[in-house]
Each structure stands twice: as C-alpha cells, then as structure tokens.
Amino acid sequence: MRHDISQLRKFVSPEIIFGAGCRHNVGNYASTFGARKVLVVSDPGVQAAGWVADIEASLAAQGLEFCLYTQVSPNPRVEEVRQGAEFYRSEGCNVIVAVGGGSPMDCAKGIGIMVAHGRCILEFEGVDTIRVPSPPLILIPTTAGTSADVSQFVIISNPAERMKFSIVSKAVVPDVSLIDPETTLSMDPFLSACTGIDALVHAIEAFVSTGSGPLTDTHALEAMRLINGNLVEMIANPVDIALREKIMLGSMQAGLAFSNAILGAVHAMSHSLGGFLDLPHGMCNAALVEHVVAFNYNAAPERFRRVAQTLGLDVRGLTHPQIRQRLVEHLIAFKQAVGFNETLALHGVSSSDIPFLSRHAMEDPCILTNPRESSQRDVEVVYAEAL
C-alpha cells in the first residue's frame, strides 16, 4: 500500500496559559526553565502602558535578575535584533521573555536565533534553516492579532533592502505563551482594528491554504466566528473584558491555524508592502484582503463557501459567483466598520512600484500555500486592483 506523504499533517503549539491575569505567573515559568537572568523584550508603548512593570514585579518576586530591552520598532529591524542579541550576551542572560505585540515578540524570537547560532539573523531567511535550539522563550501578547506567541513565524524588516523577510521553523514556537486578555486594554481603536483584521485574515487564509486539514480547520472556523462576531463591538466597548477574551481567543485560534496550515497571497503581498513602506501589517492586509479573496475564490469555491457561511452570510440557493460577490462585499463592509477605508494609492504606492512589490511577494514562503497558483503577473494585477 502506497502512503501519500502530502496527506500527512503535523501540528505545533507552545504550552498555552489563557486567562485574565495570567501575565503575573511569568516568574514561575521563568524559574521552571532555570533562569539566572532574564532578558525582557518590549517596546516603549507597552512599557508606558504598564505591562512591563507587571512582568518585572513577577520576576522580582521569584528572586530573578532581569534586564530590559525596548529598542524595537513597530516593524522590527535586523539591527534591533542584533543589538538585542549583543545585550543578551553582555548581560549573561539565559531566558527570554517578551511582552508586547507582534514586533517585540518577533524581535525576541530573532534574538533567540542569533544568540544560539552567533550569526546574523539574515542568514536564517526561509523555511527550516535553524539548527540550534534557542534559549527558553516565554511570550506575553498585548494585542489580539498577530499571534506571534503561538506561531512558527518570525517576520523581520531589512530597511537596507526595503523588504521584510520570513523565518519559518518550529524552533521559533515559544516554550510558553501567557495569553492574558487584560493586556489588550491598552490597545487604541486603530491598533485593535489592525490586529483584529490581521487575525481574521490569518483564519481565512489558513482555511483555504493548500496546507489546511482537520487539525487546523476547526481553529480557523472558530476564529472567524469569534472575530467576525465580536470585533466591531469590542472596539465600541473598550473596557468590556468578556469581549476582549473572545477576540483574544479568536486571535489565538487563528494563530494555531495559520502557524500549521501556513497562509497565502494576502500575507505574501502584505509582507512585501510592509517592508517597502514600513506600514502597520494589519493595514496592509486590510488593503489587500478582498482583492485576493476574489482572485482565489474559484480555486477553492467550496472552502470559500464555508468561509462565507461562517461569517454569517446566507448562501442558500446562491451560485458561486454570487457567493463570491457577497463575500467580497461583506469583507469590505467589515473593514469599513472597524475604520479601514484606505487604498494603497493613499499611502503613496504607485503603479511603478508594483513590479518591485510583486517580485518580493513571489519570494515569500506564504505564496507557496495560496490556493490559486500565482505568477508574478497575477500578483501585479491584484496589487493594481488594490491601488
């Protein structure tokens, strides 16, 4: 009997602790890993919101030494990863804790890789390039969206080339993820919208990805239901912790789905765009999502039909072209409801930039699992539509 290798699926995930207040347990987990000194990675905004102080208090209560690294840009850069790794070494750390959104978490993952290998982070671009295990890594997300805390992705910006690159490896799945919905209280409406759209796109792309399967589908569908049903309300009622829990849970499920099923053309194109213009990742996704869904629909019509149903659309008796139209309209309306109206042209993208953007999107690992096979010309057309 022949075994078809393409039908095999693996599923990776950190140890996850979910619930209000769980950030205060970080000291216990760091101790479990035998921490002598902890490098705490964050950024100025998260520090100002007070979450870093909570982490430091928890570490201090366990008698652990720590040092703080907050030089992280909204799209973390090669240079910041390098400086963080030097700081880790000079301080004699042996455990990394990151608290923040996708940027500090990705920076912390990058620092772990550099510390373990003693080589520049640029050398690890691509899939499964990591040979040495990173130091113990504990992540505490303060946004409900990027899911760096459960994923096998690291996205770093290389400003010299005006591009972002991806590192995909189960070696960068953190050891422990403390998912505490209370920390999302400091998100402003724009950040809530950015990260919420990112999470919704994670779920949709993971569900229609060629790498999807029964281990990821349930997470992707539940994430769509939770985010579609609660994001607008959460932005309108910022202090409602029950809504925050739902969105944080949806974001986590979307992360478990995309980390294992991988993504598609929205993310490949969004990484290229974010590296080129240094824009918020969620905004890039928002500008592209309905154009990519329209492009991909006919390659996976039954999957997209389930997406439409899960997003609450009544698709009974509709043809696929009709469902496609309704789904695109729903995504546009949802984006507008959370405050996204902009096109790429508004951010200064012109048609002359499209070949550069498309070339880099074609090199992103996410393009490989897109349901519709795409040539550079296809990607150029979709970017042009999003102008």
Q: Give pLDDT tens digits for 325-338.
A: 999 999 999 999 99
| Angle subtended at Cα 278 by Cα 274 and Cα 283, rounded to the nearest 5 degrees | 55
Helix (H, G, I), strand (E, B) or coil at 154: strand
Which pLDDT score is estimated for 3?
Answer: 52
With CA atoms as reference, report the closest residue to 68 among 45, 33, 96: 96
Q: What six digits make up the tokens of 149?
A: 């805390």
CA quadruple 254, 258, 264, 267: dihedral positive or negative?
positive
As a whole number, mean pLDDT of residues 56-72 equals 98
Beta-strand pair 153-158/163-168: antiparallel
**pLDDT score, position 342:** 86
pLDDT tens figures, 290-304 = 999 999 999 999 999
Give the right CATH number for 7-184 from 3.40.950.10, 3.50.50.100, 3.40.50.300, 3.40.50.1970.
Answer: 3.40.50.1970
| Eight-class DSSP state of 132 | S
**The domains spanning 7-184 and 187-386 adopt the same CATH topology:** no
Dist. CA 307–CA 313, nearest whole Å: 9
What digits encode the pLDDT tens for the residues 102-148? 999 999 999 999 999 999 999 999 999 999 999 999 999 999 999 99
Mean of the per-residue pLDDT values of the chain: 97
Q: How confident is the model at residue 9 (pLDDT cuts 50, 70, 90)?
A: confident
Give the model confidence (pLDDT) of 188-226 as tens digits.
999 999 999 999 999 999 999 999 999 999 999 999 999
Q: Where are the domains of the chain?
A: 7-184, 187-386
Buried b / exposed e along 297-326 (16+ C-beta atoms within 10 A): beebbebbbbbbbbbebebeeeeeeebbeb
Q: Which CATH superfamily is domain 187-386 in?
A: Dehydroquinate synthase-like - alpha domain (1.20.1090.10)
Mean pLDDT of 58-77: 98
Residues ≥6 apart with Cβ < 8 Å to 179? 16, 17, 18, 19, 22, 140, 141, 149, 248, 252
- Percentage of the chain surpassing pLDDT 90? 97
pLDDT at 5: 55
